[in-house]
Structure 1
């Protein structure tokens, strides 16, 4: 048998791809399949435990960590959490395990890398009941005591349950969502709060010491008291430095964890958005809106965190200020309150100006993104002056609104400055007046102590007021990010649904579809049916609905009416990830990532070997040009695929599609960018590529569809006719017209030869 005819990365008989965890099975001497590898047994145990909670998982969705012979509990927990479960790995002792009698199935990790499922426990008898994940529920569980279990058990377990409430990954991104994310770090927040409270208490002592120095040491000239105070100051200073370092370290860890979790959630949410949304929006606009959330991140980990920590100082020191002088303390609080009132008054106008500024910045970012993405077209058409003019206009808008925001923010700063000056300078003058007139019991030492502490109280009060000012920009940024990230996602479709074994039989029954915002149907009562293994060609004029059919097959749009069935199962009931991984799709304009040719071909199945890559490249007709390259399959592809031709890029995309051995392939104008020689090579391989799989081929070049089993002619969203090439030439006027338009040069050349022959004969 030709090696090209082998199944590339085909699933094993149990439905798990071999490359997922290495050599999963081995043939015994009798020719029967031996037991799977320990890593695969561990994965099956996890899948079986998840199935108990109604979660259907696919082992092909699991991505192993580099260097792990068998997946660790932490790796499995991350995978399960991404798939819509709540999972936690932990290490426990036998005496705790034996008490889990009423728990759902628990996965126990074994020393050889495998696992078993614990379904029950009996503390009185001292046994736990284990089930082999390979047998499922067909065999009764086996009782195991402590001595036998501890010989093979690592002590690690994996707890799994179904997520019932709305998770962070699905909840709307707003202030509450961010607050929950911060509050998840309860331990760090508790430690920071304790350190801040202790530091606030320690900050009371220096002013008290100064007061004692002035009132007792200086006035009484007591050297012994001074020595004692110096010793106390040194001890307190040491603890203050130590606690300050610890709090900064804890704060750094907290902000880093929040930043990491925020980045992971944002990117996951962005990937979960449907393709239709990206097609309707500017890429630069989307990026600008999403990146606005990092302003919220900076606010949460910057001004908000520092103000939150300063509030502990306020809580501790403010009562002490009232103890020293209630008159001066009330003046400080009143001045800070007026500052807050001024800022609140300006919040509304500032919010409107900041909204305009953010929109202007996003428009400018869009121009930058389009310029970089389309730089080849700009250089080719000499569009630099036009793009520069667009950039100048957008920059002028940004500058205008930034100037307006600066001027608007200058007013509250100017109005609050006299109040801040009064807190920092005026209070001491008022205090001095009270001392001179004996209007209160404030002494010189108490006045100095009040001034030392008063600044520390005024700072958080003023910071709290200015915090409201920052809320304008933060609220606007959060709204812009939410306008993208709160769009309906495909998360449910990607993590739930059926996972049937795909064979490739297709049936459309009265399918109607209309694109959002359009009043014309892209598909109108489309009905056809093809068995598995059929090569179906789609032809028709532009806008007839050919690509729309391929979009529906890929699950890009699910808002159609009627029934679209794959192997008798409605497409909307199939898990979207499973569906797309079962397809091989080659588009008219394919994107290749920066990386080697081998990495691009194995992008969807990174566990495949170089032999699989070579077979896929051979099927796609790419082997000959790859081997001519200096580094072969390790040749680096630059961003935008600038170092390879369009035809070479297309053949690599075909190799990437066939390497996973899909049972259904979609080629949407896949050969349009190929030169005649490459197109002929790919078309010659299409029959070999199509063996054992269904193929849906969209092409304007009818000559490439002649060998298709069926050709469907589309006209204005409807099926005009369907049949083999010869039949359509006879009975379908649309197909015959398209064929004659593309092949009239052949007919005219043949007619010219027939008319020239008699003339030559006459001359003879």
Structure 2
């Protein structure tokens, strides 16, 4: 990207779509996005962007979503001229024109009141020209798209910790400074009437001055009103800060969950994960609630405590001593409470896991009449959790009981002691001092007691933090998602001496696997259960990356490829596919930017789903409930295939995609395989060999090794394992050599088109 030329003549250049040098076949906005990405050293893949022919100009939201999917940060905003001049120089930004065109702003010069813009070209060529507000406003209404690389890996991989949460809190320092300033004013408004009482009460009592009493009353009313207004304003600011911190924590948690690798979810109970997320919200409530408010209130102590010692040092020392005793009592109970809190959290996790597992498997529970068994297990875990909760509750009562006398002293006892001191001193001036001190002590006692109790709450949160960290601080796959190469795929696959062992297993799932297939191959994977078929598909998707050897796609080692780019070029259909709540159309699109109804219909037709969708009450707008009870298994599977096909992937995996279907539905899916596979590489895992007879090549797996590779006739002839599997499934249709018997119909699934 060339730098702007500040000395270019101001009259040169017109900003409209006609003057833009477009890249062939690409929309101006897309060219601008590619140019900005190239400026930051990133190459985006324009072939993944789809524009609806009915709407020649894409929406900013679609463009931004596509850029984000490509691994960059992007945001569409509406700015005024003065805001545009103040934009920090962190690379070009794209200004979206009224007529659907775009220009790149490469520099802003506030002193001359101009911005420098240039035509968007991927090469970055072109001269920047200065434009003032009047000329720009004729073709621009304020829409801007900003782009930059994602934040560095260290920020993305930041683990959950108190330090990280403190950093989130400190990001609201501007609001917290305002809150602190308001707290100082509130403290000042607290001190003023106290000082008036301290100096004037004696005069009222001694001389019976009603005017002085009236003045004191007016001052107290005014300061009370101001105090209430400031307290309300401070509360509002704290609510804003808490809400913003809360939103950041929730976004962090959800993004962190999405970044965890699939194998972590496979080996971890859903209940444990759900319980850990619940703990994060407890931590959030502690930080944005008690912790924040306690520290704000504690700031008042810096002013009020010295004033207390100035007025009544003896009484002040007794309050400090009472607070110290409260702190000591709580400190003695911290360790046992921490132990019981850990036990309680573990018991609650076990209980919650039973609940989640039962809800996920409710069909099995109902069909096998397991209600009593599940209820008994739930009853057992509820009893265990209740027992630990009772112990923890009883233990927590002791510090509360033992500290209650000290709390009551801080609230009321200090006033009685002050009255006693005033009586024995026989000094009338002590009455005003006592009243003023009592007013201050009531302000000080709350924060002091709250600060000591904060220690106990912190111990609870520290135990809670450990549970949340056990889930969220697992190594994410974010580096692979946001980093790596983005090659254009043709579909060639190569496994070179690949070995892989699952965590906790002694036997390798793959052992020195070697094979290669050219682009456009329809590759079948067969073998007994546990032979390594699905493991190959997992490695191809980048789900498991700690293998030895080399897995290459078009000659590029898979571990060096950007994970998001890799998976977007794979269409995957599993044996059981999850459909989201929403319409059929929404499920097929699945939130992908730039896809249109035309793409939906094309994918549904290719998957053989169009015929049943059109018979639905509302066609593509038919709503699918959770669990898709209004669809048959074959319909769900064809929708899943359509969802995988809508992005026109270069590679496609069908992992037991037809094993759960009835024969008719399976025949419909298999009849479309040749059409589905046209122009792309397909990897088909199936126990039903009849669905693989038309494959270009079939790999026979056994105990993690490649036993043989060939076509169906070749494998029936020379591979004993394949021949045995074929005969077991088709004995009634073949002779002893595996040849189709005369007069026997060829299996429907083998007929293709």
So what's the TM-score if we normalise by structure 1?
A: 0.87
Query: Residue 518 of structure 2 corresponds to which residue in structure 1?
Result: 531
Once the two structures are superposed, the pairs formed by residues 416-495 of structure 1 within 5 Å of their partners are: 416-438=403-425, 443-495=430-482
Partner residue in 1 for 2:317: 330
> Could you tell which deviates more after superposition, 113-122 or 624-633?
113-122
- C-alpha displacement at 1:628, in angstroms? 2.6
Instruction: Point out the more displaced range, 571-580 or 431-440.
Output: 431-440
**1:462–1:56 CA distance, 2 compared to 1 (3 A):** farther
CA distance in 1, matches of 2:465, 2:563: 30
The answer to whether 1:107 aligns with 2:111 is no
Q: CA deviation at 1:234?
A: 2.8
- Match of 1:15? none
| 1:576–1:128 distance in 2 versus 1, CA, 3 Å | same
The equivalent of 1:342 in structure 2 is: 329
Cα distance in 2, alignment partners of residues 454 and 704 from structure 1? 84
Inter-partner Cα distance in structure 1 for 2:434 and 2:298: 23
Find the partner of 1:642 among 620, 625, 629: 629
CA distance in 1, matches of 2:228, 2:593: 51
Give the one of 610, 613, 621 matched to 2:597: 610
The correspondence of residues 233-632 of structure 1 with structure 2, limited to 5 A, is 233-438=220-425, 443-603=430-590, 605=592, 607-632=594-619
Change (3 A) 1:450 1:62: farther
Measured in 2, the distance between the counterparts of 1:512 and 1:497 equals: 23
The aligned residue for residue 8 of structure 1 is none
What's the Cα RMSD here?
A: 3.4
Greater Cα offset, 743-752 or 713-722 = 743-752
Q: Structure 1 CA distance, aligned partners of 2:56 and 2:427?
A: 74
Alpha carbons 2:607, 2:639 under 8 Å: kept: yes
SS of 2:490's equivalent in the other structure is coil
In structure 2, how many angstroms separate the alpha carbons of the residues matched to 1:440 and 1:619?
Answer: 99
Structure 2 vs 1, CA of residues 318 and 122 (structure 1 numbering), >3 Å: closer, same or farther? closer
CA contact (8 A) 1:595 1:636 kept: yes
From 640, 643, 652, the counterpart of 1:653: 640
Q: 1:449 and 1:311 mapped to 2: Cα distance? A: 20
Aligned-partner Cα distance in 1 for 2:552–2:596: 34
CA distance change for structure 1 residues 648 and 229 in 2, over 3 Å: closer, same or farther?
A: same
Q: How does 1:177-196 map to 2 (within 5 A)?
A: 177-196=164-183
Counterpart contact for 1:77–1:89, Cα < 8 Å: no
Aligned mates of 1:198, 1:98 — CA distance in 2 = 34
Q: Secondary structure at the match of 2:672?
A: helix
1:55-70 to structure 2, matched below 5 A, reads 55-58=42-45
What is the TM-score of this pair, normalised by structure 2? 0.88
1:225 aligned onto 2:223:
no
**Do the aligned partners of residues 622 and 406 (structure 1) sit closer, same or farther apart at CA in structure 2, a change above 3 Å counting?**
same
Which whole-Å CA distance do the structure 2 matches of 1:207 and 1:697 have between them? 83
Q: How far, CA to CA, are the matches of 2:324 and 2:471 in structure 1?
A: 37
The structural deviation recorded for 1:308 is 1.4
The answer to whether the 8 A contact 1:42-1:109 is kept is no
Structure 2 unaligned runs (5+)?
A: 1-17, 744-753
Worse-matched range after superposition: 43-52 or 385-394: 43-52
d(CA) in 2 for partners of 1:194, 1:244: 12
C-alpha displacement of 1:723: 1.0
Name the structure 2 match of 1:141: 127
Q: Which residue of 1 aligns with 2:12?
A: none
User: How far off its partner does 1:574 sit?
Assistant: 1.3
CA drift of 1:738 comes to 1.0
1:608 aligns to what SS in structure 2? coil
Q: Secondary structure at the match of 1:526?
A: strand
1:631–1:245: structure 2 CA closer, same or farther, 3 Å change rule?
same
Instruction: Give the C-alpha shift of residue 76 in structure 1.
Output: 5.0
CA distance in 1, matches of 2:38, 2:739: 69
What is the distance in 2 between the residues matched to 1:95 and 1:554? 44
Q: Is the 8 A contact 1:108 1:153 kept in 2?
A: no
The one-character-per-residue Cα deviations of 1:386-417 (angstroms, maximum 9, x if unpaired) are 11111111111111111111111111111111
**1:238 Cα deviation after fit:** 2.2
SS across alignment from 1:712: strand
1:670 aligns with 2:657: yes
2:732 match: secondary structure: helix
Structure 1, 393-402 or 75-84: larger mean CA deviation? 75-84
Question: Structure 1 residue 385: deviation in Å?
Answer: 0.9
Describe the SS at the equivalent of 2:41.
coil
Tell me, in whole angstroms, the C-alpha distance in 2 between the residues paired with 1:449 and 1:70.
69
Deviation at 1:487, TM superposition (A): 0.8
CA deviation vs aligned residue, 1:236-294 (integer Å, no higher than 9, x gap): 22211211111111111111111111111110110010001001100111111122111
What SS does the aligned partner of 1:563 have?
A: strand
Change (3 A) 1:156 1:691: closer
- Alpha carbons 2:309, 2:316 under 8 Å: kept: yes
SS at match of 2:514: strand
Residue 537 of structure 1 deviates from its aligned partner by: 0.6
Change (3 A) 1:51 1:252: same
**Corresponding residue SS for 1:368:** helix
- Secondary structure class of the residue paired with 1:651: helix
The aligned residue for residue 675 of structure 2 is: 688
Report the Cα distance in structure 1 between the residues aligned to 2:166 and 2:70, rounded to whole angstroms.
21
Q: Which residue is equivalent to 2:707?
A: 720
> Contact 2:271/2:349 (CA < 8 Å) preserved in 1?
yes
| Count of residue pairs the alignment pairs up | 717
Instruction: Give the Cα separation in 1 of the matches to 2:61 and 2:592.
Output: 23
Question: Cα 1:607–1:180, aligned 2, differ >3 Å: closer, same or farther?
Answer: same
- 1:646-672, CA deviations, whole angstroms, 9 ceiling, x for partnerless residues? 222112111111122111110011111
CA contact (8 A) 1:272 1:490 kept: yes
The CA distance in 2 between the partners of 1:480 and 1:674, in whole Å, is 41
Cα shift at 1:163:
6.2
Q: Deviations over 1:603-640 (max 9, x none)?
A: 15364333332332222222232233222222222211
CA separation in 2, counterparts of 1:392 and 1:455?
48
SS of the residue 1:136 aligns to:
coil
